[in-house]
Chain A
């Protein structure tokens, strides 16, 4: 048996690839159905409340999918900053998802930019004419010009970062040059700083500013934590699917799924830590100009939505992910990932909607954000699939790729430093299924 045969992706011991032809039309259907609901909701909201409820629903869906773009951008930069080996196999997927930030998510931001004076009370004519103290104290950030400059700057940074990182990654596919790795590392280095600032500004200006009187230094970190959490769950499922389809089987090692699961577990705890700290500090500091944000969220059914987040966003995934074998058990990880999508949606509604619906969770309006989610999800999935088809499914000439595959890596390269301890020395070891088959 030649060495090539050991790594062939036609190994009969692996489960057969799934027939996904039925699913091919799904993004198109989502765009169609979601688009219809979106248009209907827009007209209905236009007639009844001057497009305000439509704006809030759009914001929920937008902030949800912005999480995926920003979370992916973070994972790409973290990969380069830590000089990681294992994540080479999944990095291309993150690069594609991050590049959804521009132009696609920027285009999806346009309705928010247009409806901003109706959604954000501080941009309305009354407060613009005579700003109160809470608003005046936040000048010049909380001015109409400030809002649009911040939005422009955020998308500019995200465009520059995601496009540069992807450009050099694709270039390495052709040249295999170490220069590309060094360029990506350079962009990650300056990028991680501006990423932290822009993500925080985005979370503040588009979500927190709905109740502009409030302030919390943890808010950006909380959005960051839940964004990466959602992205990891999504990435896990996509990677698993591509493994099953034999697209990534050659470059995945058993560890990748375990590492993604462990990161998901870590961000479950990190999110809980950040959001609990924010709540605990603000609630016990007893300052009415801060506590009101949580008081609103204890009124009516919002109280129960809060409990759903405490138990569903933290306790359930925390307990479910504790065991070591769960992290590579697909039958458990797929429901957990789906649950993460649901919980992030609930989290976004909890952050955004109480500003408009103070009496409780707007069950009568829930069809609208869900319809817009379907529209945006279908659209972004379509774009993602197109991007995915246009390039190699993984960085095929990355110097760290052999490490990601878990193979013996005997030569110290310019960038590796030659650490051999992580490498799998079982040269020509049989191909094994990575997850819980």
Chain B
């Protein structure tokens, strides 16, 4: 432990799914915001236990889709009816019906971009390193251990009180992780 290391958060280890699920419920009820649970496999009911709401990615996707549709329509209208008019097949310069399929394709493409970029943005990705990865024991999160991590950045965080809470919810091994 070097002297100038900043603390990142408290790491509490659990041995089974029931313990970590109940621990998550208690941490949620205590009103923490900057915390997370790590487990080797998805646990049914964890979203609810953690109090997670619907992802906001859908909104990014929606905005992307609307942008894509508008871009497609405007692009085709501008190219065919404004910038480079060509009379083809006796058709009008611009017909929204005919411009629909490409605009629809752009709706899907930009919608997918919105979903991917929105997901990366909301997850603060990409990042090159994470403090938890330095912790030797944390690798067991992909094996047979379950972890609750409460960050020091949380407004409710207090070195002693939070440690007490984690002990009270049944963790037998609580460690400080450094940034």
Report which A residues bind B (CB closer than 8 A): 279-280, 283-288, 290-292, 295, 298, 306, 310
Interface-located stretch among B30-38, B93-101, B106-114: B93-101
Q: Is A291 touching B91 in the complex (CB atoms < 8 A)?
A: yes
CA–CA, A290 and B89, complex, Å: 8
Residues from chain B with Cβ under 8 Å of A283 in the complex: 91, 95, 97-98
- The 10 nearest A-B residue pairs measured at CB: A286-B89, A288-B90, A291-B89, A286-B88, A291-B91, A288-B89, A283-B98, A291-B90, A287-B89, A292-B90
A contact residues around B88 at 8 Å (CB):
286
Q: Taking chain B's interface residues, is the majority helix, strand, or loop, or is none over half, making it mixed?
A: loop
Contacts of A306 in B (CB 8 A): 97
Do the beta carbons of B90 and A279 come within 8 Å of each other? no
Can you report 25 A-B residue pairs in the complex whose CB atoms are below 8 A from each other? Answer: A279-B97, A280-B101, A283-B91, A283-B95, A283-B97, A283-B98, A284-B98, A285-B89, A286-B88, A286-B89, A286-B91, A287-B89, A288-B89, A288-B90, A291-B89, A291-B91, A292-B90, A295-B90, A295-B91, A295-B92, A298-B92, A298-B95, A298-B97, A306-B97, A310-B97
Tell me the minimal C-beta distance from B85 to chain A in angstroms.
15
Residues of A near B101 (CB, < 8 A) are 280
Q: CA–CA, A291 to B95, complex, Å?
A: 12
Q: Which residues of B contact A286 (CB under 8 A)?
A: 88-89, 91
| Chain B nearest CB, measured from A322 CB (Å) | 19
Contact with A along B116-134 (1 / 0, CB 8 A): 0000000000000000000
- CB-nearest residue of chain B relative to A283? B98
With the chains together, A295 CA to B91 CA distance in Å? 6
In the bound complex, CA of A306 to CA of B91 (Å)? 16
> Across the two chains, which residue of chain A brings its CB closest to B90?
A288
Closest Cβ neighbor of A279 among chain B residues? B97
- Which residues of chain B from 60 to 111 have any CB-CB distance to chain A below 8 Å in the complex? 88-92, 95, 97-98, 101
Residues from chain A with a CB closer than 8 A to the CB of B90 are: 288, 291-292, 295
Contacts of B91 in A (CB 8 A): 283, 286, 291, 295
Nearest-CB residue, chain A, relative to B87: A288
4 further A-B pairs in the complex, CB-CB below 8 A; given A283-B97, A286-B88: A283-B91, A283-B95, A291-B89, A310-B97
Which B residues are CB-close (under 8 A) to A280?
101
Chain B contacts of A298 at CB under 8 A? 92, 95, 97
Chain B residues within an 8 Å CB radius of A285: 89
Cβ contacts under 8 Å, B97 to chain A: 279, 283, 298, 306, 310
Closest to B95 in A: A298
Contacts of A292 in B (CB 8 A): 90
Contacting A at CB under 8 A, from B28-67, are none
CB neighbours (8 Å) of B98 from chain A are 283-284
A284 to B95, CA, bound (A): 12
Q: Determine how close the nearest CB of chain B comes to the CB of A74; give it in whole angstroms.
A: 30
Of listed B89, B90, B95, B98, residue having the most chain A CB within 10 A: B89
In the complex the two chains form, what is the Cα distance from A310 to B97 in whole Å?
10
A55 and B101 CA atoms in complex are apart in Å by 37
Write out the residue numbers on chain B whose beta carbons fall within 8 Å of the beta carbon of A284. Answer: 98
Give complex CA distance A97, B25 in Å: 65
Please, how many angstroms separate the alpha-carbon atoms of A290 and B95 in the complex? 16
User: Chain A residue with minimal CB distance to B100?
Assistant: A310
| Chain A, residue nearest B98 (CB) | A283
How far apart sit A117 and B138, CA to CA, in the bound complex (Å)?
Answer: 88
Closest to A289 in B: B90
CB closest residue in chain A, given B97: A306
In whole angstroms, what is the CA distance A290 to B101 when docked?
Answer: 20
A266 to B97, CA, bound (A): 24
Question: Which residues does chain B contribute within 8 Å of A290, judged by CB atoms?
Answer: 89
* Nearest CB on B from A306, distance (A): 7
A363 to B98, CA, bound (A): 26
Residues of B within 8 A of A291 (CB): 89-91
Q: Which of B92, B97, B98, B101 has the most CB of A within 10 A?
A: B97
Which residues of chain A come closer than 8 Å to B89, judged between CB atoms?
Answer: 285-288, 290-291
Q: Which residues of B contact A295 (CB under 8 A)?
A: 90-92
Closest to A310 in B: B97
Report chain A residues within 8 Å CB of B92.
295, 298
Instruction: Give bound CA distance, A280 to B98, whole Å.
Output: 7
Closest chain-A Cβ to B103's Cβ sits at a distance in Å of 14
Q: Chain B nearest CB: distance from A84 CB in Å?
A: 37
Task: Write the chain B residue with the least CB distance to A276.
Answer: B101
Least CB distance from B42 to A in Å reads: 28
**A258 to B101 alpha-carbon distance, docked (Å):** 32
> What CA separation (Å) do A365 and B92 show in the bound complex?
28
Looking across the interface, which residue of chain B has its beta carbon closest to that of A290? B89
Q: How far is the CB of B77 from chain A (nearest CB, A)?
A: 15
Contacting residues, chain A, for B95 (C-beta < 8 A): 283, 298
**How near does chain A come to B91, taking the closest CB pair, in angstroms?**
5
Nearest-CB distance from B111 to chain A (Å)?
18
CB distance from B99 to the nearest CB of A (A): 11
